[in-house]
Structure 1
């Protein structure tokens, strides 16, 4: 399986967030008496900033975002941050003067907004003159808006879209899909004018299964309602086909923070003594390593080494054949480890390193992944997020050996539901159900 090439400039947003949080903290130290400040107050200021950015969508700035929209987000961000700051100063009753606080807020506003505009405009120049940070796109449709969008891509080079081809709606769907695959197209803009549900579903399935971005050109006026999430390229309305909760920067931050906290606690307080203990038991029963490392597909099909406690005798089929009931390859201690799910505990190292998450779709052996993607529609969609140590499918009876096509279809349904409905509370519920199942036992754990 060919690795997916990640989105461009993926580090700009997290580095910008880190810069902004550093600025509000450094200026807080500079403007106020350092003798009166405590570590907790710096943490509070950082929390205020992050919460405000979530409410105002301050970091949701894209290549098609207008300068006036950035100004609007900036004013909302600092207005809300000012309210939090004044409320906090009044609550703690410290000797912070209002003049100092106003100077602090104005200075933070000037520095952060200046840098934000500088980065935004620098990326525009980089796209226009150096042809970097580009996305290869095709437009499907020959109506008025589709033609306007194609001309927009050609003329507005600072947006960073390279129009590779412009198809008609009645062009053969299979030929268009083949073209998109062979020419490494990143985004497909599909006109809803004079199209059929069958054609639309084919493009949706292709995009979902090949990590392509599909967006609609809503030429039908009934599509433009307040309930629809509409972006504007210039003055041309565009509707994204999918919107996942974990596409939002704040949700990504929350999930990654949750993963780091949980994995750190488990590594320090559990694996620090569990690894030597289980390692000794594994070594006493059979020859071979303590850990079993297996290549698996993670986010966007990128491969990583998945860690587990070795639960089988060393054999040549470990990387190609899944475990079955009463599998003779499983050791005595391995049977206990698999039944109690303790064999998965080393994957908290994967979570800490960023290859996995605590909750998410379970990763399969590469050979099994290649098999399932050929027979299950939208199987690759589950790779839009990091794989997990546990997931909705595993806590709802879909774990262990996959005996037939129905088993993997049910897993994929749960995985896609999780992808489209993620919340932190859902992760907490999955963790609770996982611990509960481990204590009570699961008949499919073998």
Structure 2
């Protein structure tokens, strides 16, 4: 189980540990090592220190996701790696580098090194415990099922405390509890708990084929951006793999050898893919901001102000990933009006200014959203963000509408380049947009993003009927 903030923690540990090794050597070297050894010998010893630490860290998994989750394990791996580093250096010096001897200055280097390593990990613990409030970055998780499989999964989550915030386990689906003297299925009640407490994922050992209520529960969970993941044993999965494939279950990952199945493929749940997409978003948005908006921004501001009064930048609350609202930026293309947060633009809309009509036709009005991308609220490619009012309306009437909220919204998207842009007069138009958004989520890759961007540029240059 991998997450972005744990990846950042590992990266920082690697950087600071390398800094500690080289600084420890430098401090002792300039104080005493130089007087007893020539520069070539000192350089060899420094290289040996770095290489021996790298080997030791790899052998003991010092920087793996599993071993940085608990501070006691982190210190244990540190001790083992440090002792192995000393052993490697001692053996190498005796056998291959007789010019380097383990003298008192060398011992001072090791002492300073271990003190630096320990201080770095202590600072990481203090920051996590008292200052950084990492709970806001963790996935909030609950488990349905009390048998051995659920208990084993619970232990795994507790071992990954930097990645997940474990809310607890709940009883089996078939058992009932009484609420106000009415029988309520525990799974439904657990999902209700998950929704009310803003959980991100619920793991269950029950499958829709075992309960008629599961499909309804899945729909309820998706409406509130809560992912349902299915837990089975390795043996059961191997024996029934054909059934799972036929029933459209996808193997997501293994947690402690336990197969985790999902009913929808999502490439962007993998950390590597999220890093690739985020890196692309940062580079692309910076390029647009520096090379396009740097000169276009003041020009558009002046043109907008000449035609109508008001702030040339229009910001509006839109629905973001996991239905979290954010302020979306645009060049203002309409006159100031009281319906801007509830009414979509229509063809020949009297609110649209002349310069606004040109901006909307060429999509120039969307360019300030590259700041949203840089800030992390949006992506270059993804489902278009809707007004909060429309999100609440469509989630009630469009099947799987909220599934699109699992992704960051985009400046452009697969739906937009396939004709589903602009005003949605009938439900079929929104259903088509949702289908394209879900298809994009299930089939994401970087080449697909590039293809959509190229098609967006071509559509903007050629003009679109639905751009008004």
Give the TM-score normalised by the residue count of structure 2: 0.68
CA distance in 1, matches of 2:72, 2:352: 55
CA distance in 1, matches of 2:366, 2:171: 49
Secondary structure (helix, strand or coil) at the match of 2:328 reads strand
Aligned to 1:149: 149
CA distance change for structure 1 residues 28 and 414 in 2, over 3 Å: closer, same or farther? farther
CA distance in 2, matches of 1:435, 1:245: 25
What is the Cα-based RMSD across aligned positions, in Å?
3.8
Shift, 1:193, TM fit: 6.8
Secondary structure (helix, strand or coil) at the match of 1:181 reads helix
Q: Is the 8 A contact 2:251 2:259 kept in 1?
A: no
Shift, 1:170, TM fit: 7.5
Q: How many residues align?
A: 368
Q: In structure 2, which of residues 181, 187, 190 is the aligned counterpart of residue 176 of structure 1?
A: 187
Q: Point out where structure 1 has 5 or more consecutive residues left out of the alignment.
A: 1-6, 32-96, 127-131, 141-145
Matched, 1:16 2:13: no
Q: In structure 1, which of residues 102, 107, 123 is the aligned counterpart of residue 53 of structure 2?
A: 107
Question: Taking CA–CA contacts closer than 8 Å with sequence separation of 6 or more, which of the two structures ends up with the larger relative contact order?
Answer: 1
Q: Is the 8 A contact 2:266 2:443 kept in 1?
A: yes
Range moving further from structure 2, 21-30 or 329-338: 21-30
Q: In structure 1, which of residues 295, 300, 319 is the aligned counterpart of residue 322 of structure 2?
A: 300
Q: Deviations over 1:95-128 (max 9, x none)?
A: xx999877644422434732546523338899xx
CA distance change for structure 1 residues 334 and 190 in 2, over 3 Å: closer, same or farther? same
Shift, 1:137, TM fit: 2.2
Q: Is the 8 A contact 2:205 2:232 kept in 1?
A: yes
Matched, 1:216 2:227: no
Give the TM-score normalised by the residue count of structure 1: 0.71
Aligned to 2:221: 207
Aligned to 1:340: 362
Aligned to 1:318: 340
Q: Is the 8 A contact 1:124 1:158 kept in 2?
A: no
Q: Deviations over 1:240-273 (max 9, x none)?
A: 4444111111111111111111111111111111
CA distance in 2, matches of 1:285, 1:389: 26
Secondary structure (helix, strand or coil) at the match of 1:229 reads strand
Shift, 1:229, TM fit: 2.6
Q: In structure 2, which of residues 137, 144, 156 is the aligned counterpart of residue 139 of structure 1?
A: 144
CA distance change for structure 1 residues 258 and 235 in 2, over 3 Å: closer, same or farther? closer
Aligned to 1:68: none
Q: Is the 8 A contact 1:359 1:389 kept in 2?
A: yes
CA distance in 2, matches of 1:23, 1:238: 35
Of structures 1 and 2, the larger Rg is shown by: 2
CA distance change for structure 1 residues 118 and 147 in 2, over 3 Å: closer, same or farther? closer
Q: Point out where structure 2 has 5 or more consecutive residues left out of the alignment.
A: 26-42, 75-124, 126-134, 177-182
Q: Is the 8 A contact 2:304 2:332 kept in 1?
A: yes
